Structure 1
Amino acid sequence: MKRSPAPPLPPPEVRRRVREAATMTQDQLAERVGVTRETVAAWESGHEAPRGRKRDAYAKLLGTLADAAPARRPQPVPEPAPKSVPLVVAAGGGPAKTARPPALTPAQAFDALYEFGAPALVRQTYLLTGRRELARESVERAFQLAWEHWPEVARDRDPVGWVRATAYEYALSPWHRFRRRHRQPEPPPADPAHRTLLKALLKLPSPHRRTLLLYDGVGLDLPETAAETEASTPAAAGRLMRAREAVADRLPELGDPEVLHRRLAELASTERLRASRPPTVRAGSERRARFWTRAAIAFTVGLIGATALTLRTAPTHYEPPVPPGEAVGGVPARVAPGALSDEELELRQKLRDELQDGPERLVPRPG
């Protein structure tokens, strides 16, 4: 039996719009498809791609929701297939012909992605945290994770977005406050205007600061910002408005979004933030993977050894426990000898008065 072709699946930003147009929450959609809410959030953010029967059920449900609201329905767009860029080659003065570019190795593709996205991501993460060293560390850690999951990242629709979301999550982790080198304040920017803007940004709550940076700094639209921050579009819009109001209260001249975007770009560009070279990042990722692999092997060997020792020293048959002792009753107590009776006294005197030695002791006398 020939299987019917799978229905087309719209891009991540369209998926969210279709669900919100149908006034359906992520929990409700997850229950309809048979997955968790976190999976639906990952599908809508583009971090994961649905596959198999779940993909078919998800695509059919989105089509049903889109048909139910034709007035507000965004046109589903099938996922575009990767296109090869033609390369014009003229050999020996002959006519130009189109040839496929040579396929990149995974390391070359990763290096190209790193060279393209790392410098901007370091500057963005600096605006998010206000710490230069933490910004570099977050971006390097995100690219190390990208190299560990390179097959998934290479197939992602937005690899830079994948790395950006990972870097932001790592940079905003609350555990950094317990690290010794992050307790000391870093020198602020030299320009007083930049110093004031950075201070105003750091006063914002981290979700509001991240939303403001993605929308007014990076330039994402509102659905993409909501998807990357794992929030609904109305919630992202509310965070953006409150963040703009807080910044405008401190710096009234930044009430215009265009001025705010320009000032954010100037603040990020004035800091000299350099990232490591791609081979260094790949080597660190591979070294980290080897460390955890060896740690897992050592733990497994230790667990096997402990299990073998337990089996070797464990008893092979049942040994009943020794019952506790019990007191025995009814035994008369030991007493010392008392005074002699009259008969005993008479016998003792008779023995003393009789002959103690002689043949009479051995041979009885005749009667």
Structure 2
Amino acid sequence: MAQEQLSNNAWRVPKGSNGFDALELSRGVPIEKVGDRDCLVKIEAVSLNFRDLMIAMGVYPFPMKGDVVPGSDGAGTVIAVGKKVTRFQKGDRVCTTVNQAHLAGPLTPAASLTGLGGSLDGVLRSYGVFPESGLVSVPSRLSFREASTLPCAAVTAWNAFYGLPGRAPKPGDTVLTLGSGGVSLFAIQFAAAAGATVISTTSSASKGEKLKALGSSHIIDYNKDKSWGQTARSLSAGGDGVDFIVEVGGPSTLSQSVSAIKADGIIAVAGSIGSDMSAKSDPGLLSTWTSNCVVRGIAVGSRALLEDAIRAIEAKGIHPVVDEKPFTLEQLKEAYSYMLSQRNFGKVVIDIQ
């Protein structure tokens, strides 16, 4: 079928959007021209991130284009390639990278302006044209729904552990994860695969059992234990504190994380789920001095780190965790509201029909 005959439906976030009701679904949207080094991808599944909700609510603190197609994490099939493409061919299964120009090393200012669903049109559409450098091959054993969880959650968790040379979880270490979002669930599996002991916080006994099945050794209900940071410290080797924390709660949880961390331990700050970004309740920078720890911001990760994470997922037989409630492209607003309510366990995924 010729490109102009493909039926392309796409969501957009209008300029000035301050809520999910403002999102607009357009049908029969023209598909961009495939350049010499581009791939045309039939998008099969998209997983959502808290970042997507922030963009729709008008509280995203980074630059973005007006009327943007949202979504950064898509998986699908290459259906056409430019004449100079060498990395992929028609029929290949791929997923996107979040920051299209972040290929390796630290995130540069220029690469930070190539984020799908923010600075560039994203993946909540039927078809998309992407540079071959902004795509990664996905394992054949993973479904498209599972593969769509890799671009942000998997590489963020991997970056938290392996982004600093010489500092990675090992047997005897203790890792603390927060909640049951996509980053935390990958972090549990990566840490357990490295031989570390995992402590996880959650809000219910049923979720706790699921976290144990993924590799957590200790579960703390943060609704019942208001000093869960100290509890996590007491569960660490010798009660000296945990070696790594994958911090996704932001101002609402940072004080607890600081109380749990070991001297010279690493707190990888990877999000602010459930927190007011303007809140002043988080500990100040002096806490890194008084606790003698390293606090490191994680801005997703490079294509090279994503490829490393995918190799580990293959080698260790790790399966991404997808929430059991399915959504179609037409149900995007409902999916956003569902994710905002934090009723999900694992990644919320949109099936693209």
The normalised TM-score by structure 1 is 0.27
Higher relative contact order (CA 8 A, sep 6+): 2
Structure number with the higher strand fraction is: 2
> Of the two, which has the highest radius of gyration?
1
Structure number with the higher helix fraction is: 1
